[in-house]
């Protein structure tokens, strides 16, 4: 019997490359998502929120990078870690916080909470893998009703354990559906490291269906958009699915305070976090916007907390 190949030796991870200066509107949105997520964790700590929530701390740049590459005609399917996806599309922190707190002005009258939101062509769900088959169906409709539009579905690395992912990729490729699968690969599915639950790679799994794959290592919104713009144009023009894998880092816990990672793993995520890196690179611009957005989120939280409970109207606003 031939012995299995030896595992590669671990090498010191290279430091992340420097970030380029972002436009004010991009930095403002990045900081809005960051401070919104931090505020949720603060509110949970105060006992002001019920249920659960999953923050995207460290991953904010993913939806911000995609924001100008998507338009109002496109559908967006989000997941359980979707606050940043929603805020990048609508910049509506008050409506989202009211939804999570069950207060008046909520996006879905408070019945959707943190994970299940419907607004126009945006839909989120906490059920792993549920959105991809639906996204394929919507994309097929787009081909017939609104040529040139696409469907973007966000999933994590843990969702590749769901059979619906492969059924959806198969259909999308066979039917030539303009589907963008944005994979936020943070290396840990709740508390399970990717290397212990995923054989092979995301690229290899996409290739099995003949679906194009593009991996993003950068956290720089300018660099990411430059690489993705022509690829998304192809998705629209050629009606071909595309898997974009963002190699990202989750700075915060899975949900609230349930972080099972070692200190070294958390420190590595923080080392790659765009927030501290950008502050060090562009301190004047950063401090100006950071203070402004922090104060804005604090004021929104005070306002929403003082509102009466939401009343279900039979439909989302």
Packing angle of the helix pair 93-101, 283-305 (nearest 10 deg): 40
pLDDT of 186 reads 78
Q: Which residues contact 130 (CB under 8 A, 6 or more apart)?
A: 164
In a domain, 198, yes or no: yes
Between 7 and 145, the more confident residue is 145
Half-sphere exposure at residue 18, Cβ-oriented, CA atoms within 13 angstroms: 5
- pTM score, whole prediction: 0.90
> Any alpha helices (H) in 46-101, and if so which ranges?
61-66, 83-90, 93-101
In a domain, 22, yes or no: no
- Domain residues for the domain of 235 are 42-304
In a domain, 70, yes or no: yes
Share of the chain above pLDDT 70, in %: 88
pLDDT of 6 reads 41
CATH of the domain at 290: 3.40.50.970
pLDDT at residue 4 above 80?
Answer: no
In a domain, 9, yes or no: no
As a whole number, mean pLDDT of residues 47-60 equals: 86
In a domain, 245, yes or no: yes
Domain count, the chain: 1
pLDDT at residue 256 above 80?
Answer: no
In a domain, 157, yes or no: yes
In a domain, 89, yes or no: yes
In a domain, 55, yes or no: yes
């Amino acid at each position: 019997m031939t012995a299995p190949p030896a595992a590669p030796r671990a090498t010191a991870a290279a430091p992340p490359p420097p970030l380029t200066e972002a436009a004010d509107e991009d930095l403002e949105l990045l900081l809005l998502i960051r401070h919104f997520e931090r505020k949720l964790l603060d509110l949970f700590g105060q006992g002001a929120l019920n249920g659960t929530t999953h923050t995207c701390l460290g991953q904010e740049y993913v939806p911000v990078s995609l924001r100008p590459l998507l338009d109002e005609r496109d559908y967006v399917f989000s997941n359980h870690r979707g606050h940043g996806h929603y805020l990048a599309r609508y910049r509506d922190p008050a409506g989202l916080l009211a939804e999570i707190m069950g207060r008046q002005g909520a996006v879905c009258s408070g019945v959707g909470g943190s994970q299940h939101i419907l607004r126009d062509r945006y839909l989120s769900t906490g059920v792993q893998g549920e959105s991809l088959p639906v996204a394929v169906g919507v994309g097929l409709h787009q081909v017939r009703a609104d040529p040139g539009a696409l469907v973007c579905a966000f999933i994590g690395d843990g969702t590749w354990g769901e059979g619906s992912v492969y059924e959806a990729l198969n259909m999308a490729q066979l039917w030539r559906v303009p589907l963008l699968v944005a994979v936020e690969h943070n290396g840990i599915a709740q508390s399970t490291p990717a290397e212990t639950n995923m054989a092979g790679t995301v690229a290899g799994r996409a290739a099995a269906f003949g679906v194009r794959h593009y991996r993003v290592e950068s956290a720089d919104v300018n660099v990411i958009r430059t690489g993705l713009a022509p690829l998304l144009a192809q998705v629209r023009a050629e009606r071909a699915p595309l898997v974009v894998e963002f190699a990202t880092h989750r700075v915060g816990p899975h949900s609230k305070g349930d972080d099972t990672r070692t200190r070294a793993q958390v420190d590595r995520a923080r080392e790659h976090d765009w927030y501290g890196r950008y502050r060090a690179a562009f301190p004047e611009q950063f401090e100006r916007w950071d203070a402004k957005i922090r104060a804005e989120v604090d004021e929104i939280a005070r306002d929403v907390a003082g509102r009466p409970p939401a009343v279900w109207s039979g439909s989302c606003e």
